[in-house]
Amino acid sequence: MSDEDEIILSELDDEELVQQMFDDLYDGLKEEIEEAVNILLERGWQPYDILTKALVGGMTIVGHDFRDGILFVPEVLLAANAMKGGMAILKPLLAETGAPRVGKMVIGTVKGDIHDIGKNLVGMMMEGAGFEVVDLGINNAVEKYMEALETEAPDILGMSALLTTTMPYMKVVIDTMVEQGVRDDYIVLVGGAPLNEEFGKAIGADAYCRDAAVAVETAKEWVGRKHNQKSA
């Protein structure tokens, strides 16, 4: 690229800049995203508008192309990393302005399982969609999940397993929630390569999500329903 072709972000008008951010997110350009977020803040944009219009808008395109097989995991991780750069600037400002959030999710890989790429991807994509995400990491016993539900009060519990041997542990967690009378307080989403829809139903999860893009769509749908019920 010659110097003449260099795009100077500060010279773009708001609309062009947001479009450029979509492209930069898609290409996983973290520094450019951070610069663009700061430019919009200087121009008087509200942090919530930057989050929803620029970052979530851009990650939605990434999510669709991932779902449709146009983008693959490494590219999505790069895009999510670029988005995290922008989010790091906005997070403290969003907290100050008390911006509405889409919902909150606690996510973790189940006991005996140490796979986390899929889970990390879901967490990043959920943040990209405007959710607050609490990641418990790998190898989580039922007590760890229950404790997180109590302390974090999320809308959603997400569980991931990549081994056929650890899949049944999801049922242990859901059965414990039932025993403690809190199962209906949360939306339970499960995912991982060996799972399928039948398994999700059999263990009493609300939905099985085959990949991160589906997880985001499913989460939005269920949280929307939950909020509607509350206001009904």
Q: List the domains of the chain with CATH numbers.
A: 7-97 (1.10.1240.10), 104-231 (3.40.50.280)
Residue at 96: amino acid letter: E
* Among candidate residues 12, 48, 8, the one with its CA nearest the CA of residue 32: 8
pLDDT higher than 70, residue 4 = no
What 3-state class would DSSP assign to 41? helix
Q: How far is CA 219 from CA 17, 213, 214, 224, in A?
A: 29, 10, 8, 8
pLDDT tens for residues 174-229? 999 999 999 999 999 999 989 999 999 999 999 999 988 899 999 999 999 887 77
pLDDT tens for residues 13-38? 999 999 999 999 999 999 999 999 99
Tokens of 96: 């100050």
Q: How far is CA 146 from CA 106, 112, 157, 160, 163, in A?
A: 10, 17, 10, 16, 22
* pTM greater than 0.85: no
pLDDT tens for residues 101-132? 789 999 999 999 999 888 988 998 898 888 99
